[in-house]
Amino acid sequence: MLIDFNNITPVTMPGMNGGTGEMTCRMYNNGTYRIIPTAIHPGGSIGLHTQGSGDDLNFIISGFGKAVCDGVAEELKPGVMHVCHKGSEHRIENNGTEDLIMLTVVVTR
């Protein structure tokens, strides 16, 4: 299976889940998992929410930020992965000066 994200229209969202600023993403969703290349723009964040649909895996490609999962803060930088298990509560923020680029995979099985 080949997924060509060049053929998926990017969507810019303000304040996802009550967060701040904006993020831009392209989402592939087949009902079993979602694959989402995402750019959280400087000053932007995904607000605190309970991960209800499945495990959320966020691989950081570039930029810097912070995730808080179940009250534990994690530094986000290139080459690390933030994992938030289904039922956990988390938020992600870009606290750098460039886009926080990550590849998010949500597994719903």
- Give the span between the Cα atoms of 57 and 82, in whole angstroms: 6
Please list the ranges in the chain whose pLDDT falls under 50: none
At residue 15, the pLDDT reads: 86
* Amino acid making up residue 54: G
Gyration radius (Cα) of the chain, Å: 13
Global pTM reads 0.92
For residue 31, the model assigns a pLDDT of 86
The residue among 58, 89, 90, 88 whose CA lies nearest residue 76 is: 58
Domains of the chain (ranges, CATH numbers): 12-107 (2.60.120.10)
Q: What is the pLDDT of residue 60?
A: 98
Looking at residue 52, what is its pLDDT?
Answer: 87
Pairing of strands 11-14, 22-25: antiparallel
